[in-house]
Amino acid sequence: MFMTDRVSDSPLVNIHQVFQLSTYGVKQEQVSYPRVTMASHRWVCCRHSSKKKKKDNCITAINLTRKTPRPLTWPCIADSAMMNPRKPWLALKVGRHFQVFNIVAEKQLFRCTVKDNVQYWTWINDDIIGMVGSKFVYHWDLSPPGDSGLQKVFERHMKLSCSQIVAYKADPSCKWFALVGLYKDFDNESDESNYVSGVAQIHCIENQCCQCIDAQAVTFTSYRRSDNQKPTSILCLANRSPAQQGKIHIIELGPHISGNTALSSFTEQLYFDETDRYDFPVSIQVCPTYGLVYVLTKYGHVKVCDIESAQHLCSARASPLTIFTAVPDTEGKKVIGIDRCGKLLSIGVAEKALINHVQANLKRPAIATRLKQSMFPPE
């Protein structure tokens, strides 16, 4: 992708620093969500103060597709900003007003005003912006022939009423959606309420039904299991209760596709260090090329799991601070993320070392064989 500096000594996980946001005029105290967003591997978008003035009046979009990342900066008073995952479109939120600009043509494409109080918003794919209001979730579809207006999709579950919304995800078919909220919970052992719990509302658009699951991080992906003929939508969830080991759930979503095996579901332990009592998952990313799931935690750890069995394969410390935004890379082999220090990190496994570890130490030959086939396919 571009030149990087290695920042980890883990034998199984390679972690490299790509660049530092301070290089582009973003101060460390301004590196957090929603000031810094990343909808895909193509762009990093930052809302920050200018070098000459102290007011938050700049938007900088950094193009990651170039060997040397190229920044574009504009004066702006937006509350938050996010680049489209694929197109050169910049979406801005100013109060209850949303605007979308083409940064190449330098013109406004779409605009709308939302009556509800939008607590969270994001691009859920190349054409749709998802908005989470106080009671409902909305979609703003900008696909051709153009703006179809704001559409109410589903109602927020009452379990999320007192939570802070931190994520809204859609599967590639836009038939399944996941809304994630975090809230302070009570730790019975320490009599403290400083532990963060999470709940995910999973909604199926075809059946118009929803289910709430304990989870602090959620994502969807499309993946073809090694025993299937066609890819299916996969739901991945990660959760941890205070002072306990975590859990990862890998769920194959319906409907069943002819020629594939029966829909599968796996739950396995996600191992945490006992000293990190209040650490918990904050992000979960899938690298479909290798069939690996990366779980990033509050304390800067990365935990790598097998997508076909949910088996926890290895862990490493990626950063001393939280990696608060992350996405799969362009090849679907690694994860890129930004920590609170402002470092853009590239995180991936050491392929041969991981295969040997799974085979010799974990005693999981089937997983080792699958990894070898995906990492070193026959020519």
pLDDT tens-digit map of 268-284: 999 998 888 889 999 99
Least reliable range by pLDDT among 54-63, 75-84, 86-95, 178-187? 54-63
The answer to whether residues 53 and 75 touch, using CB atoms and an 8 Å cutoff, is no
Q: What is the 3-state secondary structure (H, E, C) of 15-42?
A: EEEEEEHHHHCCCHHHCCCCCEEEEECC
Average pLDDT for 355-369: 97
- Which pLDDT value is given to residue 1? 46
This prediction's pTM: 0.94
The predicted model gives 320-344 an average pLDDT of: 95
pLDDT mean across residues, the chain: 92
Residue 188: the pLDDT is: 60
Residue 356 Ramachandran class (φ > 0 left, ψ -120 to 50 alpha, else beta): alpha
Q: How many CB atoms lie within 10 A of CB 197?
A: 20
- Compute the average pLDDT of residues 263-268: 96
Smallest CA-to-CA distance from 304 within 330, 343, 260, 334 is with 334
- Supply the pLDDT for residue 166: 97
Domains recognised in the chain with CATH numbers: 1-27+250-265+281-379 (2.130.10.110)
Backbone angles phi, psi at 261, to 5 degrees: -75, 175
Q: What are phi and psi of 127, to 5 degrees?
A: -120, -15
Could you read off the pLDDT of 11-39 as tens digits, one per residue? 999 999 999 999 999 999 999 998 999 99
- Return the structure tokens found at 154: 């589903």
Return d(Cα 195, Cα 185) in angstroms, integer.
Answer: 5
Q: Report residue 113 as tokens.
A: 């005003």
Share of the chain above pLDDT 90, in %: 82
For the ranges 24-38, 149-163, 176-190, 364-378, the lowest mean pLDDT is seen at 176-190
Say which residue, 171 or 243, is predicted with more confidence: 171
pLDDT digits (tens, 9 = 90+) for 125-158: 999 999 999 999 999 999 988 777 899 999 999 9
The span from the CA of 79 to the CA of 184, in Å, is 26
- Span 178-184, average pLDDT: 96
pLDDT for residue 3 is more than 60: no
Which of the four pLDDT bands, split at 50, 70 and 90, describes residue 339? Answer: very high
